[in-house]
Chain A
Amino acid sequence: DVKVTQSSRYLVKRTGEKVFLECVQDMDHENMFWYRQDPGLGLRLIYFSYDVKMKEKGDIPEGYSVSREKKERFSLILESASTNQTSMYLCASSFQGTGQETQYFGPGTRLLVL
């Protein structure tokens, strides 16, 4: 059974704090993705990783960084959290292919920055 897990369902942080969100998949997928989801804006890609230690910026990378040291694990880092980073964060993974590979999502982390 497909499984993507995220380290926290809910997080409350203060402005300026460093925040780590972790995602783990057990499907041996090459690709991993971080999105944020906001009402009216849909899912927006923050970063994408296609291999260990490899990353590619998505549509909204500003204020975020990522780390992928192991194939199954992809971390999203907010270096200095700001209130406009309050959002739902979703991790996904997929096999590499021709764009026809299904992305499977984790349960999401709802982050509130005060």
Chain B
Amino acid sequence: EDQVTQSPEALRLQEGESSSLNCSYTVSGLRGLFWYRQDPGKGPEFLFTLYSAGEEKEKERLKATLTKKESFLHITAPKPEDSATYLCAVPHYNTDKLIFGTGTRLQVFP
């Protein structure tokens, strides 16, 4: 069964304290992995798509990496404005539908 698991569920960081969020998946024939950011009470905002193992993408303090079994979202020197829930998702086999993880709620304190 296709599945996406994110860890940890919640992460509290001091401003400037770098860390990583994990997204592990089991899916038949990975065609892409998506990362989203979601602020409280709002819709998810697209961050990255990774298509193949070894690929990396960066945006400001965020860097996403992909292996054959998992993806990491590395946050370097985070700021309070990086506080949000981060979601990852993969497509179901042979469809355009996405399977979402339950997210990691990140809080960054000054």
**Chain B: CB-nearest residue to A31:** B96
Could you give 9 example pairs across A and B, Cβ below 8 Å? A4-B43, A42-B103, A96-B96, A100-B31, A100-B51, A100-B91, A102-B49, A104-B46, A108-B42
Q: Is A103 an interface residue (CB 8 A)?
A: yes
Residues of B within 8 A of A100 (CB): 31-32, 49, 51, 91
Interface members, chain B 19-50 (any A CB < 8 Å): 31-32, 34, 36, 41-46, 49
A45 at the A/B interface (Cβ < 8 Å)? yes
Interface string of A97-110 (1 = CB under 8 A from B): 11111111111101
Inter-subunit contact A108/B91 (CB<8 Å): no
- Residue among A42, A92, A94, A110 with max Cβ neighbours from chain B (10 Å): A42
* Residue pair B96, A101 in contact (C-beta under 8 Å): yes
* SS class, residues of chain B in contact with chain A: loop
Nearest CB of B to A96, in Å: 6
B43 in complex: contacting residue of A48, A90, A96, CB < 8 Å: A90
B95 (CB) vs chain A CBs: closest residue:
A99
Our pick among B49, B91, B98, B102 for the contact of A41 (Cβ within 8 Å) is B102
Q: Which of B41, B43, B51, B87 is packed against the most chain A CB atoms within 10 Å?
A: B43
* Residue A43 is within 8 A (CB to CB) of chain B in the complex: yes
How far, in whole Å, are A99 and B92 apart by their CA atoms in the complex? 8
Minimum CB–CB distance for A33 against chain B, Å: 8
Chain B contact patch, size range: 20 to 34
Answer whether residue B97 sits at the interface, using C-beta atoms and an 8 A cutoff: yes
A33 to B103, CA, bound (A): 19
Apart from A104-B46, A106-B43, list 7 A-B contacts with CB within 8 A. Answer: A33-B97, A42-B87, A43-B87, A99-B92, A105-B45, A108-B42, A108-B43
Contact mask for chain A residues 68-107; partner B; CB cutoff 8 A; 1 contact, 0 none:
0000000000000000000010101010111111111111
Partner of A103, one of B98, B101, B102: B98
Residue of B nearest to A88 (CB): B41
**Residue contact A105 to B43, C-beta cutoff 8 Å:** yes
A64 within 8 A of B: no
- Measured between beta carbons, the chain B residues less than 8 angstroms from A41 are 102
